[in-house]
Structure 1
Amino acid sequence: MRNLAVTLTAVLSAGFTISACAQEVVIIGHSGPLSGPQAVTGKDNENGLRLALEEINKTGLIVGGKKVTFKLASEDDQADPRVGVQIAQKLVDSGVVAVLGPYNSGVAIPASRVYNNANVPLLPVASNPALTQQGYKNIFRIGASDSLLGGTMAEFAAKTLKAKTAAIIDDRSAYGQGIAEEFAKVAKANGINIVGQEFTNSSAMDFLSILTTIKGKNPDVIFLGGYAAQGAPLARQMVQRGLKAKLLGGDGICSPDMGRVAGDAASIVYCAQGGTSLDKSAEGREFLTKYKKTYNADAQVYAVSYYDGLKLLADAMTKAGTTTDKAKITAQLAKENYKGVAGTYAFDAVGELKGAPTTVYTIKNSQPVPYAQ
C-alpha cells in the first residue's frame, strides 16, 4: 500500500508540474524598415512592440485557459515593396498569428494581399487610404490616414498660418503621394493656390535645384510628402537658400530624428501626427519615461502605436478565446473598443480607426512639441 501511495503521489505531482508549466507560444510578426534611411523609425516601432511584448509575457496572458507567451518575429522590409512582399510570405510561412506593420504604405499595400490570402490580421500604421479600400477584412489601421493628416495640415496652413499660396514636393512613394494629394485637395478647398508641384524620391538629399524653382514662385508654405530623411536636409537647404516659406508635412517628418538632423532649421517645420500629445496624460508620460529608461532614447512617432497595437491584439485574443483561430481574432478586432495609451482603438467597416485624432506639432530642442497659438 505504501508503494502504491508513493506512486500515486509521484504521478499526481508530475501531472501538476506538467499542467503548471504548460504554455502556448504565439508568434507575432513585425515588418518594418530596420536598415537604410528610415532605420531609426523602424527600430523605434519595433522597440514599442517589444516593450509591450515583454510586459505581457511578464504579467502573464491567459487565453482559453492556457498561459500564452508571445514571441516576436521581426523582419527588415527595407521600405521596399518587393522585399516587403517576400517578408510577408516568410512571416506567413513561419506561422505568425498576426502582424504589426508594415510602416510604409508602399510596402503595406502589396504585402497586404499576402496576409489577406493567409487570413492573417494586419495592424499597420501605413497611412495611404488605398490600403483599407481593397475590400480586405483583415486590416485594422492603428494610426490616422493620409486624408486626416494631409487635411489637418492644409487647414492649419489656411486658418492658422493664413497661407495663400503653397508649393508641394512629393517623393512619389505611396505615402508621399497619398498625403500630398490630400493636402492639395483640402488646401484648394480652403482657398490656397498651389503654385508648384515638384517631385523627388525617397533617397534624395539634395533639393537645391527644386528649391531654386520654388523660390521664384515665393510660396507661403511648402508641403513635403515624404519622410524625415528628406525633410531634415530640405529644411536646412530652405534656410540656406533664404526661402521665407514654412515647411509642412505629415507624421513622416514629425519625429525627434527630424529635429536632431535639421538642427536650427527645424524651427520652420510644422507637422501632424495621429493621436493626442502623450505628455498630456499620465499614461502617456508613463510610457515616455518607460521607453526612455528601457532604450536610453526618446520615443519617436509610432512606438506607442505599436505598443498599443500588441496590447489591443492580446485583448482581442482573450475575448475571442483563441490564439490560433485567425478568423475569430479578426472578427473580435472588428468589434474592439480598446483604451490604449495613445487613445481608444475602434474600427469602422473597412478597418479605419474611428475618430482618429490628429495633433499639429512644431520642433523645439529636437523634439516635436504640440503647437500652441
Structure 2
Amino acid sequence: MKKYSLNLLLLAAGLACFGAQAQERIRIGFMSPTTGPQAGNGTDNRDGALLAIKELNAKGIKVGGKAVQFDLDVNDDTADPRQGVQVAQQLVDKKIKFVLGPYNSGVTMPTSRIFAEGGVLVLTVASNPRITTQGHARLFRIGATDNQLGAKMAVYAAQDLKIKTVAVIDDRTAYGLGVAQEFVDQASKLGIKVVAKEFTNDKASDFNTILTSVKAAKPDAVFYGGYSAQAGPMLRQMRSLGIATPLLGGDGICSSETATLSQLNTELNVYCTQGGSIIDRSDKGKKFVERYRAEFKRDPLTYAAAFYDGANLLASAIEATQSTDPGKLSEHLAKSSYMGVAGEYAYDAKHDLKQSAVTVFTFKGKDVVALKSL
C-alpha cells in the first residue's frame, strides 16, 4: 500500500513537472517612472498592468494548445530619456518581444528607435503626435494624443468656463511643449487671447518669478503643460501670490498627486483632460475600479485603465492569431479592434487611435472627478 501511494505521489510530481515545462512563458516589458517625482503615475501604470496579468493567468490562455503564463518585467525609467534608453536596450538584450510603456513622450521618442530595431511591439500612452509619425510598424498608441488633450481643454475653457484670456506655461519636455502648443492653437481659433507665455522645467520647484509675470498679465486662466510634480507646487505658489484664476492642463496634471503636492485645503479650481470616456459610468469601468481598489487598496489614477487595457489588448491579439510573433500581432492590431475599459482600440494608418474620447476632470478635495466627455 505504501509503495502504491509513493508511486502515485511520484506520478503526480512528474505530471506537475511536465505541466510546468509545457507552459509557455510570455514576458511583457514594462516602462514607467516608478521612483522620483512622477512615481505616483508610474506605480499606477504598473498596477493596472499587474491586475491584467493576474486575471489573464487565472483565465488560462492557450496558444497552439499549450497554456501560457504572462510575466511582467517591471522597469523604472525615472521619466529620464537617458535612463529610458538604457532600459530599452536591456529589454531588447533580454529578448523581450512586447513592451507596455513608456509613459512620457520624452522617453518614448528616443526609445522607440531602439525597440523598432529590436523588433519589439510597443504599446504606449505617450501623447506627443510626433511619436507615431516615425513609421515604426510595431508601435501603437493606447491613449489620446496632445492634439486631442490640449485642443479639448481649450474647447472646454472657451465654451464652459467662458475664458477670454490665458497665460501658458510649459515644462519644455516633449509632452509639455506638445500639449501646450495644441491648447494654444485651438484656443486662438476659439477667440481666447494668450496674454503671457512662460516656461520652466520638469525638475523645478520655485515658480515665483514666472508667476509674478503671469500675475501682471491678469489672465482669466493659466494653462500648464507638464506633470503633477510641478503642477502641485505651482498651484500653491499661484494662490500665495493671489492668482485665484483656474489652473488648466492635460493628463499630466490629472492626478490626485496634484492636489497632494499643492498642500492646499481649499477648493483647487483646477481642470484637466484625460483620454477616454468617463470610466465609472460603464459596467466595465465600474468593475475595473472595484477590482483595482480591492487589489491595491486605493483608487486608480490617470492611466491604470490604459495599461490594463494594453495587456488585455496584447493577450487578445495572441489568442486571435495563436501566435507570439510581434510582426503577426502588429499586423492583427493594425486592422482589428478591441473594446477595453477605457474605450475602443482601433487604429489609423499611423497607429493612433481612430477615435479617442477626452474627458474633462476637476478636483473635489484630493479626488479627481469627471465633469464631461468631449
Question: Conserved in 2, the CA contact under 8 Å of 1:273 and 1:358?
Answer: yes
Alpha-carbon deviation of 1:15? 8.0
Where 1:70 maps in the other structure, the secondary structure is strand
Equivalenced residue count is 364
Where 1:341 maps in the other structure, the secondary structure is coil
Alpha-carbon deviation of 1:259? 2.2
Alpha-carbon deviation of 1:56? 0.6
Instruction: State the AA in 1 paired with 2:240.
Output: Q
Superposition pairs of residues 47-126 of structure 1, within 5 angstroms: 47-126=47-126
Instruction: State the AA in 1 paired with 2:213.
Output: T
- Deviating more after overlay: 102-111 vs 196-205: 196-205
Superposition pairs of residues 60-209 of structure 1, within 5 angstroms: 60-209=60-209
Give the distance between the partners of 1:97 and 1:368, measured in 2 at CA: 35
Gaps in structure 2 of 5+ consecutive residues: 1-9
Alpha-carbon deviation of 1:136? 1.1
- Could you report, residue by residue, the CA deviation over 1:345-365 in whole angstroms, capped at 9, with x for unpaired residues? 111111101110000011013
Question: Conserved in 2, the CA contact under 8 Å of 1:218 and 1:245?
Answer: no
Query: What is residue 4 of structure 2 aligned with on the other side?
Result: none
Give the distance between the partners of 1:62 and 1:150, measured in 2 at CA: 41
Question: Conserved in 2, the CA contact under 8 Å of 1:251 and 1:272?
Answer: yes
Query: What is residue 42 of structure 1 aligned with on the other side?
Result: 42
Query: What is residue 321 of structure 2 aligned with on the other side?
Result: 320
Alpha-carbon deviation of 1:257? 1.7
Question: Conserved in 1, the CA contact under 8 Å of 2:232 and 2:259?
Answer: yes
Give the distance between the partners of 2:318 and 2:18, measured in 1 at CA: 24
Where 1:304 maps in the other structure, the secondary structure is helix
Question: Conserved in 1, the CA contact under 8 Å of 2:359 and 2:372?
Answer: no
Question: Conserved in 2, the CA contact under 8 Å of 1:220 and 1:244?
Answer: no
Instruction: State the AA in 2 paired with 1:34.
Output: T
Alpha-carbon deviation of 1:244? 3.1
Give the distance between the partners of 2:235 and 2:249, measured in 1 at CA: 11
Query: What is residue 310 of structure 1 aligned with on the other side?
Result: 311
- Could you report, residue by residue, the CA deviation over 1:49-108 in whole angstroms, capped at 9, with x for unpaired residues? 001001111121112221110111111111111111111110111121210000000000
Instruction: State the AA in 1 paired with 2:38.
Output: Q
Where 1:243 maps in the other structure, the secondary structure is coil
Superposition pairs of residues 213-292 of structure 1, within 5 angstroms: 213-262=213-262, 263-264=264-265, 267-292=268-293
Give the distance between the partners of 2:51 and 2:372, measured in 1 at CA: 31
Alpha-carbon deviation of 1:124? 0.4
Where 1:264 maps in the other structure, the secondary structure is coil
Where 2:265 maps in the other structure, the secondary structure is helix
Give the distance between the partners of 1:257 and 1:25, measured in 2 at CA: 35
Gaps in structure 1 of 5+ consecutive residues: 1-9
Where 1:151 maps in the other structure, the secondary structure is helix
Give the distance between the partners of 2:181 and 2:372, measured in 1 at CA: 26
- Deviating more after overlay: 363-372 vs 225-234: 363-372
Give the distance between the partners of 2:333 and 2:41, measured in 1 at CA: 26
Instruction: State the AA in 2 paired with 1:27.
Output: R
Structure 1 position 331 matched with structure 2 position 331? yes
Where 1:310 maps in the other structure, the secondary structure is helix
Give the distance between the partners of 1:228 and 1:264, measured in 2 at CA: 17
- Could you report, residue by residue, the CA deviation over 1:189-214 in whole angstroms, capped at 9, with x for unpaired residues? 11111111101000111111111101
Change in 2 beyond 3 A, CA 1:50/1:228: same
> Over the residues paired in the alignment, what is the CA RMSD in angstroms?
2.1
Alpha-carbon deviation of 1:243? 1.2
Where 1:156 maps in the other structure, the secondary structure is helix
Give the distance between the partners of 2:173 and 2:96, measured in 1 at CA: 28
Give the distance between the partners of 1:350 and 1:309, measured in 2 at CA: 18
If the length of structure 2 is used for normalisation, what is the TM-score? 0.93
Give the distance between the partners of 1:16 and 1:29, measured in 2 at CA: 28
Where 1:55 maps in the other structure, the secondary structure is helix
Question: Conserved in 2, the CA contact under 8 Å of 1:34 and 1:77?
Answer: yes
- Could you report, residue by residue, the CA deviation over 1:293-334 in whole angstroms, capped at 9, with x for unpaired residues? 1111211000010001000000011112111x2110111111
Where 1:90 maps in the other structure, the secondary structure is helix
Query: What is residue 352 of structure 1 aligned with on the other side?
Result: 352
Give the distance between the partners of 1:40 and 1:133, measured in 2 at CA: 29
Change in 2 beyond 3 A, CA 1:72/1:220: same
Instruction: State the AA in 1 paired with 2:120.
Output: V
Give the distance between the partners of 1:332 and 1:372, measured in 2 at CA: 33
Structure 1 position 29 matched with structure 2 position 36? no
Give the distance between the partners of 1:300 and 1:76, measured in 2 at CA: 18
- Could you report, residue by residue, the CA deviation over 1:265-313 in whole angstroms, capped at 9, with x for unpaired residues? 5621000000011111121111111111111121100001000100000
